[in-house]
């Protein structure tokens, strides 16, 4: 969860959270994610709220644009 906090506060770049069940969640802006005690909440562009158990996060990847930049 510290990695997510660092991505939110340290010069934000969009990222993807990958889960153990194969699902992935895009975080295009820091306002779309919140980190609490034992929980990560991701809000999708359609306002769907996803509550994630950090124990099931398998990867956090920076999302790169189609132009090849970050």
The string of DSSP letters for 22-38 reads S-EEEE-SGGGEEEETT
Q: Is 15 exposed, middle or buried (0-12, 13-18, 19+ CB in 10 A)?
A: buried
Give tens-digit pLDDT for 17-58. Answer: 999 999 999 999 999 999 998 999 999 999 999 999 999 999
Q: Is 27 exposed, middle or buried (0-12, 13-18, 19+ CB in 10 A)?
A: buried
Which residues are within 8 A (CB) of 69 and not within 5 positions of it... i.e. 6 or more apart? none
Domains and CATH numbers, the chain: 2-62 (2.30.30.100)
Report pTM: 0.83
Q: Are 27 and 14 in contact (CB under 8 A)?
A: yes
Mean pLDDT throughout 50-68? 85
């Amino acid at each position: 969860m510290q990695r997510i906090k660092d991505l939110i506060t340290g010069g934000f770049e969009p990222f993807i959270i990958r889960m153990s069940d194969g699902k992935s969640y895009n975080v295009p802006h820091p306002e779309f994610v919140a980190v609490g005690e034992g929980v990560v909440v991701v809000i999708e562009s359609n306002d769907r709220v996803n509550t994630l158990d950090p124990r099931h996060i398998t990867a956090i990847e920076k999302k790169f644009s189609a132009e090849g930049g970050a």
